[in-house]
Chain A
């Protein structure tokens, strides 16, 4: 799996949009971008994934650049409960043994 680069930490004011960047410059054509988050010592929670088109669900939006070398996860109206470590992962979901390999992630702090 290709590696990703994320800021170690970020903060955002409550109610504002949180934009979390991720670089994946060595991503290959069949690799998807996945985002997970882990709220203090809880199980990692799936947020969203995409291949090349922008995606949106009830939790977040995912913006992938045209060259697919980077992406941004957007939490539109951050709340205190969004404080967590966010992981950007690239993987081929349909390979024979496609486990998720986690990096260090971005520690997002939401301030009141």
Chain B
């Protein structure tokens, strides 16, 4: 089965800790994205990557970091610099670079700061 997996499904973090959210896709998609969703809100773009070893900041990149060492993997680290990290995090991927393909989403990781 082709798809996007995210782990863990639920994550609890103590203040001051860094945590890493996993995103893996076996769709052979070129582009990958990280979004944050707060309760009752829309999606905000954190980081995105069009190709391996390259990524760009989205609208709310402060306090987050990413890497793209493999085409199928795009992990997101939530650092201690992110002051309000409690949210639902969604990873997405898209085929090609023509700009005419939809994004497909993973199941999400719900992060809670204790």
Q: Specify whether A and B are partners.
A: no
Chain A positions near chain B (C-beta within 8 angstroms): none
Chain B positions near chain A (C-beta within 8 angstroms): none
